[in-house]
Structure formats: C-alpha cells, structure tokens
Amino acid sequence: MSDLRLLADGVGEPAWLRRSLIAIAVSFMAVFLLLPLANIFHAALSEGWRVFLASLHDENAAQAIRLSLVSTAAAVLISGVFGLAAAWLLGRHKIPGHGFWVAILDLPFAISPVVAGLMFVLLFGLDGWFGPWLDRHNIQIIFAKPGIVLVTAFVTFPFVARELLPLVQALGPEAEEAAMLLGASPWQTFWRVILPALKWGLLYGVILCASRAMGEFGAVSVVSGHIRGETMTLPLHIEAVYNEYQFGAAFACASLLSLMALVSLALKSFVAWRAQRELESQ
C-alpha cells in the first residue's frame, strides 16, 4: 500500500526535500534567465519611449537591422538547401568514410566562431588562398556583405542537417520507391513524398538556424570590417553604441534582438507541438 502511495506521488523523497529542490531550480531560472532578460527591456525603456524609437529609427541601426535580416535569410537558405542535401546523402547512401562525414557535420559547432571567422579571412583575405585572384578581379568578399553571409551560413550549417539526418534515416526508401514505381518523376517524388515527411524537421532546423544567425557575433565581427552604415549587423551595432556610451540606444537594439529570439523560441515550440500532434494522429 505504502509503495503504491509512493508511486502515486511519483517520487520517493520527502515533501520538504522536493519542495526545496523545486524552489532552488525555479529561483535559479528566475535569477539567471528571467531577471536579466526582463532587465534588458527595462534598460531599453529607461530613457523613455522617444529615445527607444529614435534609436531603432537611427540610420545606422536601421541598416544593421536590415543587414541582419538579409544575412539571416541568406544563411537560412544556404544551410537549408545544403543541410537537406547533406542529410539526404548521409541518411540514404553509404558513402566511403560515412562516420567521418557525419562527424564533420558538427564541425561548425565545435569550432569557436572567432576561429571560423579567421578561417574565412585566411581563405579570402589578401594573404589568403583566393585573395590575390579576388583582388585582381575587384571582388570583395571579406570585410563586405558576402563574407558576413558566408560565415553566418558556416556557423549555422549543422542545425538543418543535424535535424534532418535522423528523419531521413527513419523515413526509409520504401515510400520513395513506391512513388517511383507508380510513375512519379524525381521532382514529384521530392515535393510530394519526401518533403512532406521532413517538413516539420526542416522547419524546426530552419528556426534554430535563423535564431542563431541573427545573434551571431564572433565570426561576423572578424569578417565585417565594422563599416558604419554598411557592414554592421545588429549584434555588432549593439556593441558599438554601447561602447559609445549610448546605453539607452544599445539596450533598445538589444531588446529588439531579444524580442526576435523570443519570437523564434515561440515558433520553435509551436512547430514541435504541431509535429507531435501530427505524429499522434497518424
């Protein structure tokens, strides 16, 4: 009987211990996560709404927001397409050195963003492999927008590929083979059979990728060149204005970035919930 009671409670620890453990966990979350986040919004509005709006409308801030959005979109597109391709290749086919390639997918996670940025400087900088050729043809990659997009895509690459790899493996080749046998073209098979099966995973990966891309600082800082009004992203802009004693403006932009992060968090949870429901209904 008493064993049953314990089972019903779900735990064997005395109530006071349970309560204090919960209290510790909750207060830790509050102090470490919620309080600093709330404080950003508080600081953003500390100099009033006018300063808040003006700092977001500022020419340089607007450019930084635009560049962040553009480079995020480009990075998502690149990581999405190549992540899908990589997951497909590794999930469906046994290529030589399979385990090695799967491990390599995680390389961008393992490497520090600063090193990632420097890798691109070593490739495309004047001293780099392609530097002299690019210079002769007047193509600017590093210290310009293409460089920012490239490093952002690099650091966010694993999100989509990692998310899709297990799904592709679980999907198996049967549905595809059936579609092909019934006369579907490869494109039709891709759009009608494969993509629907992967869509929630893809969406989940894309959201993770986007939220990381928006916030990326280290790698972008190395390749940006920090040209005001041209190659600043939102995180770089926040650091710059903070260092210029414009604390209100810095926190206004920081609150915008946090807001974008919260939105992607909500989207992510929504996608996970929908995917779960779909799975259960099947």
Partner 1 sequence: MNRFLRSLLLLASLGTALQAQDVKLLNVSYDPTRELYQAINPAFAAHWKAKTGQTVTISQSHGGSGKQARSVIDGLPADVVTLALAHDIDALATQRQLLPVDWQKRLPGNSSPYLSTVVFLVRAGNPKGIRDWNDLLKPGVQVITPNPKTSGGARWNYLAAWGQALKQKDGSEAKARAYITELFKRVPVLDSGARGATTTFVERGLGDVLLAWENEALLVTEGTGKGKFQIVLPSTSILAEPSVAWVDKVVQKKGTAAVAKAYLEFLYTPEAQKIIAQNGYRPSDPKALKAAGSRFPQLKLFTIADAFGGWDRAHDAHFKDGGSFDQIVVRK
The nearest distance, CB 67 to partner 1, in angstroms, is 14
Q: Are 52 and 128 in contact (CB under 8 A)?
A: no
Please provide the distance, in angstroms rounded to a whole number, between the alpha carbons at the two ends of the chain. Answer: 39
Query: How far is residue 98 from each of residues 154, 156, 168, measured CA to CA in Å?
Result: 21, 21, 15
Alpha carbons 69 and 66: distance in angstroms, whole number: 5
Q: Which is nearer to partner 1, 12 or 48 (CB)?
A: 48
The nearest distance, CB 229 to partner 1, in angstroms, is 6
Q: DSSP secondary-structure letter at 30?
A: I
The nearest distance, CB 75 to partner 1, in angstroms, is 22
Q: Which is nearer to partner 1, 88 or 247 (CB)?
A: 247
Q: Are 209 and 76 in contact (CB under 8 A)?
A: yes
The nearest distance, CB 233 to partner 1, in angstroms, is 14
The nearest distance, CB 252 to partner 1, in angstroms, is 17
Q: Are 92 and 173 in contact (CB under 8 A)?
A: yes
Q: Which is nearer to partner 1, 224 or 264 (CB)?
A: 224
Alpha carbons 171 and 246: distance in angstroms, whole number: 53
Q: Which is nearer to partner 1, 84 or 121 (CB)?
A: 121
CA triple 216-75-141, angle to 5 deg: 85
Applying CB under 8 A, which residues contact partner 1?
121, 124-128, 131, 135, 138, 140, 142-143, 225-230, 240, 243-245, 247
Alpha carbons 239 and 242: distance in angstroms, whole number: 5
The nearest distance, CB 74 to partner 1, in angstroms, is 21
Q: Is 54 exposed, middle or buried (0-12, 13-18, 19+ CB in 10 A)?
A: middle
Q: Which is nearer to partner 1, 91 or 125 (CB)?
A: 125
Q: Which is nearer to partner 1, 50 or 136 (CB)?
A: 136
Alpha carbons 64 and 144: distance in angstroms, whole number: 13
Q: Which is nearer to partner 1, 121 or 168 (CB)?
A: 121
The nearest distance, CB 115 to partner 1, in angstroms, is 15
Q: Which is nearer to partner 1, 132 or 172 (CB)?
A: 132
Return the exposure string of 136-172: e unless at least 16 CB atoms fall within 10 Å of the residue's CB, then b: eeeeebbbbbbbbbbbbbbbbbbbbbbbbbebbeebe
Is 50 in a helix, a strand, or coil? Answer: helix
The nearest distance, CB 94 to partner 1, in angstroms, is 41
